[in-house]
Chains A and B, each alone.
Chain A
Amino acid sequence: MRLTTIVQERPHRGTLYGWRWWWVKPQREAFYGPLPVTYHLSSIHLDELVTPRKPLRATCMSENLYLNPTSMSSAHTDQPKRCPVMFCPCGIYAFKSLADARTYWEGARDHVSIDFMLEVAKPRALAGRVALWGHVIEHERGYRAEYAYPAQFFCREPDMEWAGKVGETYGVPVTVFPPELEGLIP
C-alpha cells in the first residue's frame, strides 16, 4: 500500500458517480395463488438485498470476517463509528469505469453459489450508475463510499420489460445501453 500518496482533502462538492452491477432477484409476495412479482437488487458479492427508495449506508463487517482481523479492527480504533476508513476494506464499492465494473461482474458471475442458483432459476443482472456521497475513500479504479443509491440502470432492449419493473420498484430511470457502451455489454 503506497501510504505516501494518500491525501486527506477538503470536502468535495457535488455527488460522485460510479459503476456497479447488481443481481436481480424476483421477490414473490405470496406463496400461493397469483404471484405478483417484484424485483429486488442484490449485491454481486454479498447476499444482501438493496432496500428500494432508501440510501444504502455502509457498515463495517470486519468483526465478522476472518481475514486478518487484527489489522482490520485497528483500522477503526481512531474512528470506531466511521465507515469507510482508509485501512479497512469496508464501504460501498463502485468502479470509476463501466469496463472495470464489467470485468469484475464477469468474474463474479462464474462463482454464483448453489443456493443462489436454486433460488433464482434465471439469474438476471443489471448495470448502472450509482450515486455516492458522505465519507469517501477514492482508489485508483474506484471508490468506497459511506452512502450510495442507484441513479440510472442500463439494460439490453429485450430486457427492458423486467428491467423496467426494477426501475419502478427503485424509482430509478432505465435506459437501453447507448451505442457507445454496447461494446461493454458482456
Chain B
Amino acid sequence: MNIGEPIREYDVIPDDLPEAVRPVEEPAPVEAPAEVPA
C-alpha cells in the first residue's frame, strides 16, 4: 500500500472511538448513607 513518505509520528489519544469498541464505563459505586445515631 503506497501511502507516500513518512512525515511525522505521534501518539493519538482517542476521544470518540467507534461505539462497538468503546470502553464501557462502569457506574460509580453508590456509597451507603452514613448511619445517623438515634
Chain A residues engaging chain B, CB cutoff 8 angstroms: 1-2, 5-16, 45, 52-55, 86, 93, 95, 100, 104, 131-145, 149-151, 170-172
Contact = CB atoms under 8 A, between A and B. Distances in A.
Nearest to B10: A9
A133 B17 CA distance: 9
A142 B3 contact: yes
The 10 closest A-B pairs by CB, nearest first: A140-B4, A171-B20, A142-B3, A133-B14, A139-B3, A7-B8, A15-B14, A9-B10, A141-B4, A133-B12
A84 to B, nearest CB: 8
A8 B5 contact: no
B21 A8 contact: no
A144 B6 CA distance: 9
B7 A132 contact: no
B25 interface: no
